Amino acid sequence: MSSKFLLPFVIYHLISTVGLTIHPIDNLCLNGQISMDASDIETASLDFGGMTKTKPLAVSYPTSADDIVSLVKAAYNSPQGFMVSARGHGHSINGQAQIANGVVIEMSGGSKGNKLRKDKQNLALPQISMHGNSSYVDVWGGELWIDVLDWTLQYGLAPKSWTDYLYLSVGGTLSNAGISGQAFNYGPQISNVHELDVVTGKGELITCSKNKNSELFHGVLGGLGQFGIITRARIALEQAPNKVRWIRVLYNNFSTFTKDQEYLISLHGKPTSERFDYVEGFVIVDEGLVNNWRSSFFSPKNPVKISSLNTTGGVLYCLEITKNYDESTANTIDQEVEALLKKLDFIPSSVFTTDLPYVDFLDRVHKAELKLRSKGLWDVPHPWLNLFVPKSRIADFDKGVFKGILGNKTSGPILIYPMNKNKWDSQNSVVTPDEDVFYLVALLRSALDSGEETQTLQYLRNQNRQILKFCDESGIKFKQYLPHYKSQKEWKGHFGDKWELFLKRKLQFDPKHILATGQHIFQPSFKSFRSSW
């Protein structure tokens, strides 16, 4: 066994009797692998945001749910105490999965964690079950969605609701919500879960669903990791299409753009032949962005110029829609798309269309990632800001932010698309604006060392603060998605009427505040760590 892994068999009472200082993890006698190797510590101290770094005491590579139970139970029963944080693919932005004075659990674990689990054979491959017209798959909480897709496609099936990027862990997205252009129809990923296995902050492994241990089930979904660690999720599936018709059209008028988006998501109850399967959009305030990453449709030989399209305030809006099909519907796809497009009021000359395999569409962002990696533009700070903005105030947001604060530089894509609130379960922990329709506005910027002030981390973070200040001063009752706050007062404001329920669930399932302290919602209750918090 490699010396980098510790399977400590230190006798706590023997060391303590000779007066040596006891580290809170020194007396762990656990299954699985606990590493204090410098490279493992370094990896666990970072995330995709690249703005926060917090080194844990150790890193755990669990081989089963039982390993997580043992670790959390040890933390809960420890006289001195230590914290535990589950880390999926490390795609958090503000250090939410990082932890000081504790152990990071590498749920996805990369090749190391996968090998350990394979060697132990404690975690079976995903299991698919079919019951009449419904089907589902049971998966490990650290599984990446791309791997879930690859597995289910072998059976001609796929999850119903997605995120735009598939190299995220199942437990990670379910702890937030999990959204993409399918959410108007199926709701977020947390609305498509039948059952969970969860290790609570007491070290209890509990199976929960809407009908069994429902308080834990609803608490964990969108619960930011505060009530338990998801070790298994039962995900709803549907028949997977073979192909996708992917369409982008441009608008130079914001109200026309949002009117069409809202019309399209109102069709969610219609037969598949009478609606699109995916509705998103993005904002273009920088001519360079028209022809790069999110806009690969446009030919480099014939670039689109914002100035040539009679924009208001120098801003364009792109509607992005898809229609799924297979061999049985291939002969009607043209007519169905044409009928839907006739009801929209986009710039007539701006229709860009492509057809591609379903899996290639779902995995489209990864292809962009590979391009950015090749240019050294992926592992940079990402000061992202994701907001849910109520429909009634989205025009004010456009005027104040898209046509105001942002100027004509964005340093990354800006997504905008509406969702139907009735597709979200109000019993889950996640909070959304109190309107029937609300918009995701995602400013997915990258900080670059290019010599341009508008691309620096400081500039972009200041701009994010200006946007939040503008919303507050304008009375726009937004909610942060992937929220980040530093004080409990701010968190109370975020959860609003749900705060008391959130607090009640915390006291029930993680009374010592062991879990996910990187969210900065609750202080750990161990006295020995209060001084360093």
Residue-wise DSSP of 462-530 = HHHHHHHHHHHHHT---EESS---SSHHHHHHHHGGGHHHHHHHHHHH-TT--B-GGG-SS----HHHH
Identify the residue with better confidence: 171 or 531: 171
Q: Which of 192-206, 221-235, 289-303 has the lowest mean pLDDT?
A: 289-303
pLDDT band at 80 (very low <50, low <70, confident <90, very high): confident
d(CA 61, CA 32): 6
Q: Catalytic: 280?
A: yes
Predicted local distance difference test score (pLDDT) of residue 524: 86
CA angle 384, 388, 393 (to 5 degrees): 120
Q: Where are the alpha helices (DSSP H) in 314-456?
A: 333-341, 358-362, 364-374, 394-397
- Within 8 A by CB and 6+ apart from 493, the residues are none
Predicted local distance difference test score (pLDDT) of residue 337: 98
Task: Point out the catalytic residue in the list 91, 218, 382, 513.
Answer: 91
Predicted local distance difference test score (pLDDT) of residue 133: 76
Go through the domains of the chain in sequence order and give each one's CATH number: 114-239 (3.30.465.10), 243-480 (3.40.462.10)
Percent of the chain with pLDDT over 70: 84
pLDDT band at 294 (very low <50, low <70, confident <90, very high): very low
Pairing between strand 157-159 and 127-131? unpaired
Q: Which of 131-135, 217-221, 231-235, 411-415 has the lowest mean pLDDT?
A: 131-135
- Name beta bridge partners: 244: 324, 356
Predicted local distance difference test score (pLDDT) of residue 248: 95
- Within 8 A by CB and 6+ apart from 328, the residues are none
Amino acid at 490: E
- Name beta bridge partners: 233: 139, 196
Half-sphere exposure of 404 (CA within 13 A, CB side): 12
Mean pLDDT of 490-505: 98
Instruction: For tokens 């079919």, name the residue.
Output: 130
d(CA 461, CA 385): 9
Nearest CA to 23 out of 81, 87, 91 is that of: 81
Predicted local distance difference test score (pLDDT) of residue 31: 52
Task: Point out the catalytic residue in the list 106, 195, 280, 398.
Answer: 280
Measured CA distances, 329 to 243, 257, 335, 343, 478 (Å): 10, 29, 11, 21, 40
d(CA 151, CA 143): 11
pLDDT band at 23 (very low <50, low <70, confident <90, very high): low
Predicted local distance difference test score (pLDDT) of residue 286: 72
Q: Catalytic: 91?
A: yes
pLDDT band at 140 (very low <50, low <70, confident <90, very high): very high
pLDDT band at 354 (very low <50, low <70, confident <90, very high): very high
pLDDT band at 310 (very low <50, low <70, confident <90, very high): low
Predicted local distance difference test score (pLDDT) of residue 28: 59
Q: Catalytic: 197?
A: no
Give yes or no for residue 451 having a pLDDT over 90: no
Task: Point out the catalytic residue in the list 164, 204, 287, 355.
Answer: 164
